Amino acid sequence: MEAGEGSFVKKKEKNRNNILLTATALIILTLTICTSNAINAFVSSTLLNTIDHRTLLIYTENDTDKARLMEKLGSDDNVIAVFPWISNNGGDIELQHDGIATAGKIYLKPAIPHASPDVVKGENIRESSSKHVGIIPKTFALDQQVNIDIIRTEKEAFIDGETLIGKDITLKYREYADNDRNNGDEEAHYSDYTFTVIGVYDITKTFDSANTVYIPYNDLLALNDSFQKRVTSVLSRPLLIITAM
């Protein structure tokens, strides 16, 4: 009886250990699957859904090919919009805030349908009628090195963009010329562009830098032409293709 009882106890302990190991393995497997699904959902809904991950640049040899391509892509169900591409430019500004003048740089992006960030306060840019307006980050900074991690970045590094709604910001930018490489800064030409802040957006949703400003597409198109108005060898603009998820 004692030998039988000992064997029964050992078998019981073995079964209990097997159950514990199986349960632990199932828990780890469940946690792994949940974590993997959460990461996939985050990447799909945020990173892969940003404008930078849903755009293509297509180069054409001439304007005739470009017109045909725009017509063909316009009927594709996977294409949301087609635009002549314009580079994202920027320049220097000096901002008066709380009685203090702060100098820095801002980076300009075009506000286009299906690609502009959602406004958390104020108004968004209307495609057809908006001119000389802009939407800026809620956590605004004039230094592109400021991290978008607004939790760990010092609060003093940011300006509350909401306090700038309704105010004008003037951008000073350099016009480029064919012989800029041979000219010193004393021969450089500069122009101004002024816009009114009409709204703010959340950079943690767009992964933009804290100094990225969205302005009307036509405004940035005109600025691009102005940037290069003294350049004779301007290349044809490629097409910007915005695709659906």
pLDDT confidence bin for 166, thresholds 50/70/90? very high
pLDDT confidence bin for 168, thresholds 50/70/90? very high
pLDDT given at position 93: 82
CA 113 distance to own-chain centroid: 14
**Three-state DSSP class for residue 208:** coil
Residue 158 CB coordination number (10 Å): 18
**Token digits of residue 14:** 């073995």
- Decide which of 13 and 118 is more confident: 118
Residue % of the chain over a pLDDT of 70: 65
Residue with tokens 């032409």: 225
pLDDT confidence bin for 122, thresholds 50/70/90? very high
pLDDT given at position 235: 47
- Look over the chain and give the mean of its residue pLDDT values, rounded to a whole number: 75
pTM, 2 dp? 0.69
Residues 6+ apart with CB under 8 A from 131: 216, 218, 219
pLDDT confidence bin for 79, thresholds 50/70/90? confident
List the chain domain ranges: 2-45, 57-243
**Which residues, listed in sequence order, are joined to residue 48 by a DSSP beta bridge?**
none
**Three-state DSSP class for residue 121:** strand
DSSP strand pairing (90-97 vs 100-111): antiparallel
Lowest mean pLDDT among 64-73, 94-103, 134-143, 181-190: 181-190
